[in-house]
Amino acid sequence: MMVSILPKGFEIVGDIREYIKLIRPYGILFLGFTPVFGALCNGEFDAFHLSLLLIIGLLGHIFVFVQNDYYDMEIDRQSKYVVQRPLTTGVISRSNAFILFLCSFCVSMMLAAVFFFSVRSFVVLLVSFLLMTLYNRYSKRIPGMEYVLGAAVLMYGLFGALTVSDEISTLAIIISCVGFMQWVFSVGVSANLKDVEFDTKLGIRTTPVLFGVHAIGNQLKKPVRFIMYTYAIKGIHLLVAMLPFILGYTSILLNGYPIPLVGFFILACILLFTTRGILTTSLEERNLMLRYEGVHEGLALLLIPLVLLSYLVEHVGVLPTFCFMLFLIFWPLLSLRFLFGKTLIPLE
């Protein structure tokens, strides 16, 4: 039996750090704020209401990612890239992971039942958790499961809107669809592309594999149809994100200046650039691919608040909106720095 030479306090701190790694705090804000955006777009601006929705959103993130590691533990042990994850190393037991995501589910449902109960909102939240579970259970067996996960995110946004009223605004539906498209891209393209070599060896048919992507030496051979599919998904994502501008639900101007519109187009150009980077980076530069993916996801997180900028300033105020944008920018960076040092590269 191995006996730890570390003081008990250091062991506890180490365990906490591993649990933090398990829940992936650097990506927690997208799903965390999904029901918040849904409620905001349906006319809810009460801080207490929105704070509770944020808690439910954060718990949803913990649920989906911890459950994903729970189901994929044996597969992850065969990958040299993620073998150091807390579950695969055994630092966190499988039973503890199960308790963690089960508690996240139970607390979410209890908060929804106590503070926001309506039949529609409760059922929609339940369906969202069901879709997350279906994705986690079958994503390694059935291609295209990122659409199921995207639907779960969409339902999460609609849940937030339904806590305000049984009537969902068009703006809330559009913003929820932006979340759907983002997760379809980030999971179906970004996350799956970097694992093609490993997935092919294990017979896992993800979307890139289905499109014929395969490894030749240190390069990924990508058929034209996959490249077209990738840019089509990203194009639809950006188009849906622009709909509030196009349909007049939000303004392209802020205090007479086209700040939201200019910001959106700058963001769109960078997202397209990082998409190209994800597609063209070789396997031997996997860390560079992860950096492209990290920048892409971090900036994609800003799309929704940028499109809603005039709406947020009008209803929430300039200073809270400004602080919120800064928080969305710096939280992922600080989380990655804390967990993985200067490389800012997670175990993905």
* Each residue's pLDDT tens digit, 304-320: 999 999 999 999 999 99
Interatomic CA distance for residues 335 and 345, integer angstroms: 11
CA angle 67, 329, 69 (to 5 degrees): 10
**Which of 225, 147, 209, 155 lies closest to 182 in space, CA to CA?**
147
CB-based burial label for 163 (10 Å; 0-12, 13-18, 19+) = buried
User: What number is the average pLDDT over the span 220-244?
Assistant: 97
pLDDT computed for residue 345 by the predictor: 76
The total of other beta-carbon atoms located within 10 Å of residue 119's CB is 9
Compute the average pLDDT of residues 327-340: 93
What pTM value is reported for the model? Answer: 0.93
Q: What does the alpha-carbon distance between residue 85 and residue 217 come to, in Å, rounded to a whole number?
A: 26
- Which pLDDT value is given to residue 4? 46
Dihedral in degrees, nearest 10, Cα atoms 21, 341, 327, 100: 10
Least confident window among 83-92, 95-104, 111-120, 159-168: 83-92
What is residue 2's predicted lDDT score, i.e. its pLDDT?
41
Q: Which of 195, 187, 191, 168 is nearest to 237 (CA)?
A: 187
Q: What is the mean pLDDT of residues 102-116?
A: 97
Asked if pLDDT for residue 218 goes beyond 60, the answer is yes
Rounded-to-integer distance, Cα 341 and Cα 336, Å: 7
- Please indicate whether residue 287 or residue 311 has the higher confidence score (pLDDT): 311
Res 3: pLDDT: 42
**What is the average pLDDT across 191-203?**
87
Q: What is the pLDDT of residue 9?
A: 47
Could you tell me the two tokens for 19? Answer: 């649990």
pLDDT of residue 12: 54
pLDDT of residue 13: 53
Determine how many CB atoms are found less than 10 A away from the CB of residue 297.
Answer: 20
The one-letter amino acid code at 125 reads: L
- How confident is residue 202, by pLDDT bands cut at 50, 70 and 90? confident
Answer whether 280's CB lies under 8 Å from 227's CB.
no
Selected from 1.10.357.140, 3.40.50.720, 3.60.20.30, 1.25.40.390, the CATH number assigned to the domain covering 25-343 reads 1.10.357.140
What's the start-to-end Cα distance of the chain, in Å?
A: 31
> Worst-scoring range by mean pLDDT, 129-133, 290-294, 311-315, 338-342?
338-342
Say what the pLDDT of residue 347 is: 60
- Of the CA atoms within 13 Å of residue 273, those in its CB half-sphere come to 9
List Cβ neighbours of 209 (8 Å cut-off, separation of 6 or more).
143, 192, 196, 199, 200
Q: What is the mean pLDDT of residues 201-209?
A: 90
* Cα-to-chain-centroid distance, residue 320: 23
**Average confidence score pLDDT of the chain:** 92
pLDDT given at position 348: 65
Per-residue pLDDT at 271 exceeds 90: yes
Across the strands, what pairs with 221? 214
Region 216-228: mean pLDDT is 92
Average pLDDT over residues 67-79: 89
Q: What is the largest CA-CA distance in the chain?
A: 70
| pLDDT (0 to 100) of residue 287 | 86
Cβ atoms of residues 161 and 179 within 8 Å: no
State the Cα–Cα distance between residues 12 and 279, nearest whole angstrom: 41
How many residues are present in the chain?
348
pLDDT at 10: 39
